[in-house]
A and B are shown apart, each in its own frame.
Chain A
Amino acid sequence: MNHWLTAPILIPLLGGILQVFMGYAPISLRRTLAIATTVLLLVSTIVLVVLASDDSYRLYAFGNWQPPFGIVLVLDRLAALMLVLTAILAIFCHIFAIGGADEGNRQFHGLFLFQLMGLNIAFLTGDLFNLFVAFEVLLIASYGLLMHGGGRARSIPGVHYVVLNLAGSAVFLISVGMIYSVTGTLNMADLALKIPELTGEKMSIVKAGGMMLLVVFALKAALIPLCFWLPKAYANATAPVAALFAVMTKVGIYAILRVYLLVFGDDAGALANLGMDWLFPLALITLTMGVIGALGADNLKTLVAWQVIISVGTLLAPIALGSAAGISAALFYLLSSTWTVGGLFLVAEMIANQRGSARDKIVTAPRMRNRTFLSVLFLIGAVAAAGLPPLSGFFAKLLILQSVLSGSEMAWLWSVVLIGSFFTVIAYSRAGSIVFWRTVDGHIEEPRPLGGNVSVAAGALAGLSLVLVALAGPISEFTDATAAQLLNPGDYLEILKTPMVKGDN
């Protein structure tokens, strides 16, 4: 057992508890401690990536209980990748938030850290019921964060978001109950062993449970037809919260990758690749819907929120096809799109603060100050999001297209992705040219100053797409190895046989 595995859960938990008790401490102290927590979290996730890159599975069994019966954390390359992705996004959102967005609510930092804890539990857990608990932890923190700042515009999308997710949780519990009633276990490795042996009526129950589970994950991932709650909720959230939420849909995608490759993978007998033939067309329709929404967006944040849906469609299409190259490309795109979308939310907020009452609406307004800096950031973000060369979005989409080279899947994937990218470019250039070029004379009176923290955070998130291009070689090697590891779940099943001893590995 390796105790490092608990660090990404314990660090934000302790930091969050500290914030709860320090609600009335000076804001500078709270900010310092919150940033220190996030930095520690980032360090611990980097340690886990280094640990995971030797291709072995690491296990942490709480209370030293043998896996099928106790609760386990499992670290592999995919979990480590998701952890470091979240930690890097979180630290820049946090730096942006201490530029002023965290004021007005004493528990902002506590909620933020609890949300990170929920995300990290979801990525590390090796047990379906714990995945449910992790979803609830991150959701209840996200409800609070979504309402941060208050206002009429937030309460309606907030109600929709909470009600939909509660209904989703009910479906999740029903599917967990159905799977447990037949297999008698909820440990993912144990499920992968028991499901191929099922026959007849029992198999049908697990099949129904598995499909309902896919519905829940699709709701979290905002797959069509379960995506219409997202644009309004994200567009109305505070900027650093919306940027952090860019990783929330990726939790659904992570869960699909984890459960459907391990439990319902190629070795699952009659239930092999359950639901994947539904996922591919739905992913392409989601992509199309996202592009249509982006074209119709009337403010920058809504435009970026639809970009989240575009990236969900682009991600799930290669995952549904299930080839190693496709999954590797999808993971590369996952890194690229999460950081880019997060950065774009931050840039949209900075633009909104410079434009007075026009906010981030795509309308003609007086010229803003710091126009050059903001337009460069927006350009980088838009180029990376739309997938134009030379930034990371282009490489990721190229890898996705290259992963499918024959058959009708190729025709569908290539045409939808390429035409979708073209219209995404139109949406961004329309927004950018109106906001930055079509201005009336004069300047906004007394614009809010552009804070140092804020500029650094948004600049760094946009700049990550350059880093991803520079390091494309090593990163795609890592994602290739991750895809190979995911498609060979044999080693994962070995963790059930791990003897429970006190020493570490």
Chain B
Amino acid sequence: MLSASSYLTTYLIIALVLFVMGIYGMVRHRSFMGMLVSTELILCGASINFMAFNRFVLPDPAIGQVFTLFIMGIAAAEAAIVVSFILAVYRKYQTDDPSAVHDLRH
């Protein structure tokens, strides 16, 4: 128990809990912004998995770090796009509720 930080399984379980919490939030939230927050949790779980395998299993420890950096870049692009999308949808429909937005036609 006291050396939990030096086992691969510990990090995998932490990542799994973050992933499951992200799924929970995706289903439960009633707004696009809340769903975006949950998506970031899922991405974070994936990054922890990459870093954990990188630390304990891979021969070259730079590869996992590079992948995690790429995930961060993708997450930044995704957040920029989604936030502006939410603003555009909000301007048209005056709501943030996913079930109230039926189509995206102009």
B partners with A: no
